Amino acid sequence: MDTPTPVSRKTRRSRLLAAVASLAIAGAIGFGAATTGTSPVLAEAVRVESDQQITGFADVVERVSPAVVSVRVSARMAPASDSGPGGFFFDFPGFEDLPKDHPLNRFFREFRGERGPDANPRFRDRPNRARPSSQGSGFFISEDGYLVTNNHVVEGGSDFTVVMDDGTELSAKLVGTDPRTDLAVLKVEEAREFTYVAFADDTKVRVGDWVVAVGNPFGLGGTVTAGIVSARGRDIGAGPYDDFIQIDAAVNRGNSGGPAFNLSGEVVGINTAIFSPSGGNVGIAFAIPASVAQDVVTGLIEDGTIDRGWLGVQIQDVSADIAESLGLDEAKGALVSEAQPDSPALKSGVKSGDVIVAVDGRDVKSPRELARMIGNLDPGQDVELTLWRDGKAETVSVKLGEMPAAQQVAAAEPQEPDAGDTLEGFGLTVTPAEDGNGLVVTDVSPDGEAAARGIQAGDVIVSVNSRQIKAVADVDEAVKAATGAGRKAVLFQVQRDAANRFVALPVGQG
């Protein structure tokens, strides 16, 4: 009988650790390797070769940064006086009756820049001084000093300073603006050659492409962020020609007017807006496409203004219900709610109830698309409109007019319904009826009592507590009388499709 050889505790522990290590190695090999026959084959670790690596954006930034600038805007202050807008009493209401020997009077004189022994020397001889009003970003598009920014950056300004990437400050003059697309052009008159960038062909921009934003967030200057194109064709309600590129690069206040570059250093869009519940970056920004900017900028440089075609119609969306009622196969086009007096559309026979479904053979998908189509055409140009009328398609020829200068929204653009006035406490927004009898409901708060009781947009409020209604003031008076009588609700007479019904709404409930 064999007798086991005695093994020390230390030796047993060493052998146990070795066995565990062997099992661990074998397990790892068996788990991670491909096998051929009975022998496991070790796989090579995954790696990206140097020529396939993303090396960052430093090369792009280095090339384009000299073309990107900060834009500082100042507005002229008229000399202050003791009365009227901008004067002492306007700026400091409640101090009109101070005695002339009151100590605060000296402070106010210095603030106004008055001359004399008590005047503040900082304000002497500066009766029409400029004060900072806004700042943003911009970029050069030509060697001789033309640069692009946003209209909302320069709006209301009288003095413009361009700060280069090396800190050099240069004066600029305003060439022209286009509020409808929120674009502006400045010109630096300096005997030098500026580094400039070119616009990209944004039709080739795809969702998922890299973009690099360079600008002046919060006045910091020379800040670079990167992200991707996250969507195209965004309509954010900023204007009639909304067609934004959505990017997820960090864009903040002060980035407005700055460029978003592709990896070739071309401008694919101009940063102009952000979505932000808090006011700071949350990763959703909107840029004006290069194709839109290029056309507008060219027009501003050549003429200082932008001339757009004018059709002269008020239009609205074609809903599925409207399409079905009109016999349209699908909900598309722009429904004409009114052809304006003396407009090209009215003169050509376009009338209320028509649906514009095509312009020169190009399909119109929505009112905003029609607005962009007409806005991109020149005044005096002949266009052929395809209309859906009385269950069939018809064509009319229209010679476009020139958009009236005083008109804030192009007649060819979708006319937003009048926002109206709010009926406090009821969750209703209303506007006077066209015939002057009643208030038309334009919006209903989904959480309000009115919505819960079935009131809808389009309903007409005819009376409240038997009081005939023609204006919001009439509702207020009826509610005041009811609450004065101790009532907790008021009775609304509502008309819909020529049928009347009564709805009781609690007083003071949203």
Q: Which residues are catalytic?
A: 152, 182, 256
CA–CA gap between residue 496 and residue 457 (Å, rounded) = 10
Q: State how far the alpha carbon of 466 is from the alpha carbons of 53, 199, 413, 429, 510, in Å.
A: 77, 64, 40, 20, 22
| CB-based contacts of 452, cutoff 8 Å, min separation 6 | none
**Cβ neighbours around 502 below 10 Å, total:** 10
What span, in angstroms and rounded, lies between the C-alpha atoms of 430 and 476?
A: 13
Helices H, strands E: what count in the chain?
Answer: 11, 29
Contacts 24+ apart (CB under 8 A), 395-399: 396/348, 396/349, 396/350, 397/348, 398/311, 398/344, 398/345, 398/348, 398/350, 399/344, 399/348
Strand residue runs (E) in 77-152: 130-140, 146-149
According to DSSP, the residues that pair with 148 across neighbouring strands are 139, 185
**Which amino acid makes up residue 467?**
R
Count CB atoms within 10 A of the CB of residue 100. 5
Q: Is 209 within 8 Å of 228 (Cβ atoms)?
A: yes
* Contact in structure between 489 and 464 (CB atoms under 8 Å): no
Amino acid letter for position 234: R
